Amino acid sequence: MEDVTCKVLVIGAGPGGYVAAIRAGQLGLDTVIVEGQYHGGTCLNVGCIPSKAIIHAADEFEKAAHFAGESAIGVKAGKPEIDFAKTLAWKDGIVKRLTTGVGGLLKKNKARAISGWATFVDGKTVDVKENGSTHRIRAESIIIATGSIPVELPFLKFGDNVISSTEALSLSTPPKTLAVVGAGYIGLELGIAFAKLGTKVTVVEAMDKILPLYDKELTRPVEKTLKRLGVEVLLGAKAKGASKKGLDIETADGKAETVKAEKILVTVGRAPKTEGWGREKLVLDMDGKFIRIDDQCKTSMSGVYAIGDVTGEPMLAHRAMAQGEMVAEIIAGHSRRWDKRAIPAVCFTDPEIVSVGLSPEEAKSSGYEIKTQNFPFSANGRAMSMEAEDGFIRVVARADNKLVLGVRAAGRGVSELSTAFGLAIEMGATLDDIAGTIHAHPTLGEAFQEASLRTLGHALHI
């Protein structure tokens, strides 16, 4: 058994873990990071990055198919074909470049990477099994960054034709028929992508609306896309189990039906990975199924921190990254606190949806009197010239001092505006600040300025 001692031990090399290790190394802390599977975690390998690659390929294929028919802009092309094996190879190449890059960054910043699964012995010690040998690592500070896993339904166990998002991103060819269980962002992102690639998609959602975390106005443009693509959405329906023909369901009116499907994609959420690494050897306070943390990501045990999905919502890679960087600096003696108000959430559907800060309902329930208005992309010149008029940007601000509390947007490419939205809230911008900032013309970003002007009562282009 090899004994290793270090200042900082990071368990898990996902977005939060590897960023924590890189920053700790930059700060001169003797750092070890342990990962049992692959650098980059779910996000880089079987989540954020590969899914966006498949979504992009599907968008390009749909665009080519569009130009094979009648086109308002005069572009004509032949019927498109897709070499999906080549698409997957391209996607895998991107993943390899990024994960290799993570390994290089850890090495560059003198963070030692050990491959293997870590198991706690006590609050300062873990054992890591690697290629038949065991490392015993003792650290002054430990950062738990074990991430999350797809939720499995007891009556739809993963295997054979029942798949999670992980398997969906590695299918050798788009299935002819696909049943998606759950109309959250993962299910609709992948469902829309496969529909664009020619798959007949049926979405089964137990609630009475798609994307339950967003209001109806935001989801309406996505509903329009689903209809255009021929995606059947069964709301108020319950999945019951797999059968030879596909997915057995109970419809909203209580009828038993079967959705024909080659594959059943279960996307009903993700669960924190709190088992399998010796949590029972620790005395950690829990917040439901998550590890409880304070505003410095400290757990109930001295010297033990937790970051990312294992600590709760929102389960977002950039949240984990921000926490990882912060914890490394705290261990190095810096003064930092965690504030989640300006975390953007992006739904990469068609069109995209962005959420930052408070919604009108959330702001009112927090006791604020508010002003709120939106500006439609149908009145934005750049959107018109891109054939992307669906959607809008909405601003929520305090009525008394006009401080911006939240921004919501739906539209093509609005994910790229999320930084501006987050920055406005982070910097404490008011409606006057945004309205008074000269926005380049013609851009989609002008809709942010116009939404602020309209909330102030004097929009210029509507």
Catalytic site residues? 441
Q: Which two tokens stand for residue 405?
A: 């509390």
Give the single-character DSSP code of 268.
S
Helix, strand, or coil (residue 448)? helix
Which string of b and e fits 136-156 if b means at least 16 CB within 10 Å? ebebebbbbbbbbbbeeeeeb
Nearest Cα residue to 9 out of 201, 141, 191: 141
Q: What are the Cα distances from residue 351, in Å, to 203, 219, 414, 415? A: 17, 9, 8, 10
Q: How far apart are CA 352 and CA 350, in angstroms?
A: 5
Give the single-character DSSP code of 139.
E
Q: Which long-range contacts (CB under 8 A, 24 or more apart) does 87-96 make?
A: 87/54, 87/57, 88/170, 88/172, 90/53, 90/57, 91/50, 91/53, 91/54, 91/57, 91/169, 92/50, 94/49, 94/50, 94/53, 95/40, 95/44, 95/45, 95/49, 95/50
H runs (alpha helix) in 285-353: 317-331
Give the single-character DSSP code of 231.
-
Integer distance in angstroms from the first to the last C-alpha of the chain? Answer: 71
H runs (alpha helix) in 332-387: 360-365, 381-385
Q: Which two tokens stand for residue 40?
A: 């980059």
